[in-house]
Amino acid sequence: MLLELKNITFGFIKDKPLLKELSMSLEKGKIYALMGGNGSGKTTLFNMITGFLTCPEGSIYFDGKNITNKQPHLINRFGIGRTFQDLRIIRNLTVRENIIISMQNNPSDNILKAIMPRSFHFLSDTQLELRAGTIAVQFFLNEVQSSLAGEISYGQQKLLSLACCVANGASVLLLDEAVAGIQPDYRNKIVQLLKDLKSQGKTILVIEHNSEFIEAVADAIYFLNGGKIALFESMESLKKDKQVMESYI
């Protein structure tokens, strides 16, 4: 397994754990959905995996390495990238500039820097521009790549957030509400992109409430309820679980 969580227990209030001895694992090259009611701990779980919250009990492993309570920038260098609900793009920079900044933190580049001569450590400005342009095309942002990120549509900002996460070079992508609040045409674009990323060997865990989107992309679904997590093979099997559906409605 590429990413493993073992016996995670966490709570914001003493003696009232939000997550209770939670264990889960992600296999390389698969897409997983993470579902659960509001306040069930989905984003909290993301924050612990990526080092934004301390994990008081349990362990987190990436590719066999214990990354529990590592700093966020170190976890990113291991190869775990994420998006946020509040779309942390740089609004006063262009779309292309946002992508270029993300590329310069590429974890795979850090490996190259360790073994290549100093003259090979950084891509030239021209190479960065070319790569950023290719990514912009891949993520349906070609026509707006010279626009300020704060001036493009919300759906395009979602695409940009995902583009920056991928440009960062991570092998595991944690996507927090990837299609929330966007029009169906942008949602369909993201479905296509996630399938393409899966075919490239990326492992994806996405928090989402949209059942049609989950049915379109997810190989399996994790459901959080009452601090516990359950694994379902499909949305159909999840919907047959009356206890889960009662907690979700």
Place of tokens 């559906």: 245
Gap between the Cα atoms of 164 and 247, Å rounded: 34
pLDDT in tens, 157-171: 999 999 999 998 899
Residue 121's pLDDT is 41
**pLDDT value at 118 more than 50:** no
Higher pLDDT, 74 or 124: 74
Gap between the Cα atoms of 125 and 86, Å rounded: 29
pLDDT in tens, 34-75: 999 888 999 999 999 999 999 999 999 999 999 999 999 999
Q: What is the DSSP string of 111-122?
A: HHHHHS-GGGSS
Distance of CA 236 to the CA centre of its chain: 24
pLDDT-derived band at 128 (thresholds 50, 70, 90) equals confident
Name the pTM for this structure.
0.88
Phi, psi of 16 (to 5 degrees): -130, 75
Mean pLDDT value across the chain: 88
- Residue 181's nearest CA partner among 107, 86, 43, 93 is 86
Gap between the Cα atoms of 176 and 45, Å rounded: 11
* Strands 203-207 and 172-176, bridge-based pairing: parallel
Gap between the Cα atoms of 80 and 46, Å rounded: 11
Residue 53's pLDDT is 94
Provide, for the chain, the percentages of residues in helix, strand and coil under a 3-state DSSP scheme, each rounded to the nearest 5: 40, 25, 35
pLDDT in tens, 168-226: 889 999 999 999 989 999 999 999 999 999 999 999 999 998 889 999 999 999 999 98
Q: Kindly tell me the burial class for residue 230, based on how many C-beta atoms sit within 10 Å of its own C-beta (0-12, 13-18, 19 or more).
A: middle
**pLDDT value at 124 more than 70:** no
Give the chain's domains with CATH numbers. 1-15+46-78 (no CATH), 79-202 (3.40.50.300)
8: three-class secondary structure by DSSP: strand
Length of the chain: 249
Other Cβ atoms within 10 Å of 249 Cβ, number? 6
Residue 106's pLDDT is 59
Gap between the Cα atoms of 82 and 215, Å rounded: 21
